[in-house]
Structure 1
């Protein structure tokens, strides 16, 4: 366990800050130019998910859509071995819905269909409520940490959790992964795990502050490194157990939770180091600027 005691987490944090800044800039560029690949949950239109007993190709489906009067730009066909997804940019009428099912059933009589439709107003309301959910949760965390600890801890904690949430959003934007309602649930869950790990480390820092003297910047560095070393294994074990569960859910779970599982996997990877190399060193930077005052317990 000696490696934990000798590791300078504050010094190492500059490399992780650099990595996070590079990924943040890349994410902002992708979001500015491409945005997010929203599912039908956030866009008006219809999404038809088809379970198949034999593979079908896009070439077999395209004539069916053309006969229904649907332009190729109004539908995206995503074929697979035992599934096929067709996304329509407009709400599918009842007649076209019936025609589509009838024609595909001729190609595969064991095909089953799941149709999801969202109208424009509902799509706007879902997107708006998702943003409110994230903002309100962040506000609640800021208030709690400010009361429970101090404003420096609150600033560091909120930067770390926003970092984790944005990294997931950036990865989904860069790789054009589909964003649906389960993605929002995953982001809120990641925020919860992020603040949990951060609070554990901050609580240890606050406890160590009570029994140590901070006369210099080096004393604060030593305190932060010691506090992280005392809690790092707990943080890693917690993240690892959830990561394993999320990873196998992604591999073996159903299509409906695939994006949730993937977002959790990505978020846990980023969250594993943000509490250690982002939040704690940031608190140190803020605390070290406190002039001519000995560090005190909150």
Structure 2
């Protein structure tokens, strides 16, 4: 791991223009897909019914799907859940002939009749989410992301310097937009678990960005030579080992969750995998490149209050010495 220690000398900022073009392309594609395709919202947001059905033997999904369609359920989503003997059925909001939304009590007997193949099916659970609740969850989820970004802006601006705050927010918005764009392009269902993963991506990316920002501030005060780009490159190289090791160990866990966690957390693990990859990239290029673009310098990060206090003390000391005749004013 010698290549990733503090003596490595990768010139990250030399490629910042290429990185900016790459990020802009990804963001434009993501926003375009979100505007055209939007997100494939799950029942948590749109409302509907989720039923888990257990069978004594391996269940064939196609006959179950056909029976649900014959029973009057439009576009049912039928998947295995954990094992091939457990089936998860997702239905959109169901309405009667008058347009009234059917309750769970009205849906259950129809659903039981449709999936009870030879009497071997057993309902394990059935959850019904109304369309109004789904709309409220969608609004509250979006508000949670905005509040998190605002809180981060205030914290980083107070803890470091306002340009660091803009760099951190730029990196986080970059990560969130690209992660959402990935789900829009692929059509993977976006549910509450994925929303939680997006918030977790914000926390992960921020943690990495704070580590880099702290080292940049420290090096601006320690390194007497070198311009802004050289100081930032040195800081990124010094934190590279920590960034790589953290990302790799996190990815190992997430890949294991994706492969062995089943359908219940599939979207959650995919969102985190995409977020960790993009977050690692953004902490190196987006946040740091923003600092360069905003013109951060050594003078901006020196402890000004301390310097002014020391200057006042020195002037006071010289004034007293002059009054005693101990200092040559020439």
TM-score (structure 1 length as normaliser): 0.88
Task: For structure 2, list consecutive stretches of 5 or more residues without a partner in the other structure.
Answer: 95-101, 304-330
- Which of 38, 42, 54 aligns to 2:41? It is 38
- Which of 2, 7, 10 aligns to 1:7? It is 10
* Residue 110 of structure 1, CA deviation: 4.8
What is the count of residue pairs matched by the alignment? 288
CA distance, structure 1, for counterparts of residue 189 and residue 65 of structure 2: 22
* Residue 111 of structure 1, CA deviation: 4.5
Corresponding residue for residue 297 of structure 1: 302
After superposition, where does 1:48-127 map in structure 2 within 5 Å?
48-52=51-55, 53-66=57-70, 68=71, 70=72, 74-80=74-80, 81-91=84-94, 93=103, 94-107=105-118, 109-127=120-138
Task: For structure 1, list consecutive stretches of 5 or more residues without a partner in the other structure.
Answer: none
- Which of 250, 259, 274 aligns to 1:266? It is 274
Q: 8 Å contact 1:58–1:77 — kept in the other structure?
A: no
- Which of 172, 179, 191 aligns to 2:183? It is 172
* Residue 30 of structure 1, CA deviation: 1.1
Instruction: State the superposition RMSD in angstroms.
Output: 2.3
Bigger-Rg structure (1/2)? 2
Corresponding residue for residue 29 of structure 1: 32
Taking structure 1 as reference, are residues 102 and 206 closer, same or farther at Cα in structure 2, changes over 3 Å only? same
CA distance, structure 2, for counterparts of residue 9 and residue 16 of structure 1: 10
Corresponding residue for residue 285 of structure 1: 293
* Residue 220 of structure 1, CA deviation: 1.0
* Residue 197 of structure 1, CA deviation: 0.5
Taking structure 1 as reference, are residues 102 and 231 closer, same or farther at Cα in structure 2, changes over 3 Å only? same
Q: 8 Å contact 1:178–1:259 — kept in the other structure?
A: yes
Instruction: State whether structure 2 residue 242 is matched by structure 1 residue 229.
Output: no
CA distance, structure 1, for counterparts of residue 28 and residue 262 of structure 2: 33
SS at match of 2:126: strand
* Residue 105 of structure 1, CA deviation: 2.5
SS at match of 1:50: strand
* Residue 152 of structure 1, CA deviation: 0.4
Q: 8 Å contact 1:58–1:79 — kept in the other structure?
A: no
